[in-house]
Amino acid sequence: MARDLTAAETAQRSIIKKYRRVLWNPFIAAVKRYELISPGDRIAVCISGGKDSMLLAKLMQELQNHTVAPFELAFLVMDPGYRRENREQIESNAKLLDIPVTIFESDIFDVTAVVEKNPCYLCARMRRGTLYSRARELGCNKIALGHHFNDVIETTLMGLLYGSQIQAMLPKLHSKNFPGMELIRPLYCVHEEDIIAWKNYNHLEFIQCACRLTENRTVEEDGASNSKRQEMKELISRLRKINPNVEKSIFQAIHGVQLDTMVGYKAGGVLHSFLDEYEKRGQPR
């Protein structure tokens, strides 16, 4: 008589069975297309406690179990000052899903709570730096974050509409302050709606926004607060009714920017103008 599967086994199996086309395949596609993982890597999978990072942990475990190019994993949870119930839920879910997390504490929420200007920006920078530092202490050369396809699209739109810049979110980048360390985003091609479907199918409950500055705001089912990012979600939803391929179009656009049509662009922090090469382009070849 076959035994019943554990919650971890059921969640793992659903990734490669029921949700193989929409979770596993795009995850593998991103890993290969953007060359995110190399043999011998030791990767710190950074877990915030939300649906995205928890799924990322399970995908990375599955890949590690089947790859022919061995790499190591550490599952890192930073507690920046969560309320007790949020901390307990993260620990409970990690145990339920068989993710061997390493938890460490910081006072980032306390520090940013007294900052009046751009506390979210400061919090993000401090959290990123702290994760890099702890990952390096654990012998890791990469950190993996749970940013997904929709984060990429929404970030691009926010930069265009509110930041006066055409700027995308890269699938990987070198750390400027921690030489030899890289950040990778293996969920780069995975859609948020499919992550939510996986979560609901497995009857999983994750923390949403655990930030003490924003936790009292209205929260939607997918965990997005009443913010500019939520505004982008709603905008894309409206645009999708007119053009069902709008997200795909934006995603493809950031992979094929036509610099020859740009009036100006920045590279390496240096601003370039189309006038720099204008006369040269007009000369006969």
Question: What does pLDDT average to in each consecutive run of 10 residues of the chain (285 residues)?
Answer: 82 96 98 97 96 98 92 94 90 96 81 66 79 94 98 95 93 95 98 98 86 49 60 95 96 94 92 92 78
Going by the DSSP 8-state scheme, the letter that residue 199 receives in this structure is H
pLDDT at 1: 55
Block residue for tokens 């370039």: 272
So what's the pLDDT on residue 115? 65
pLDDT value at position 2? 56
What is the end-to-end Cα distance of the chain in Å, rounded? 77
Q: Are strands 182-184 and 172-174 parallel, antiparallel or unpaired?
A: antiparallel
Sorted by where each begins, the domain ranges of the chain are 7-259
Calpha distance 170→249 (Å, rounded): 17
Q: What is the pLDDT of residue 112?
A: 67
pLDDT of 35: 97
The pTM of this model reads 0.89
Q: What is the pLDDT of residue 221?
A: 39
Torsion of CA 228, 234, 236, 237, to 10 degrees: 170
> DSSP of 66-126, one letter per residue?
H-SS--EEEEEEEESS--HHHHHHHHHHHHHTT--EEEEE--HHHHHHT--S-HHHHHHHH
Please check whether residue 77 is in contact with residue 54, taking contact to mean a CB–CB distance below 8 angstroms. no
Q: Which fold has domain 7-259?
A: Rossmann fold (3.40.50)
- Among 161, 202, 178, 248, residue whose Cα is nearest residue 58: 202
Residue pLDDT, tens place only, 182-193: 999 999 999 999
Q: What is the pLDDT of residue 209?
A: 63
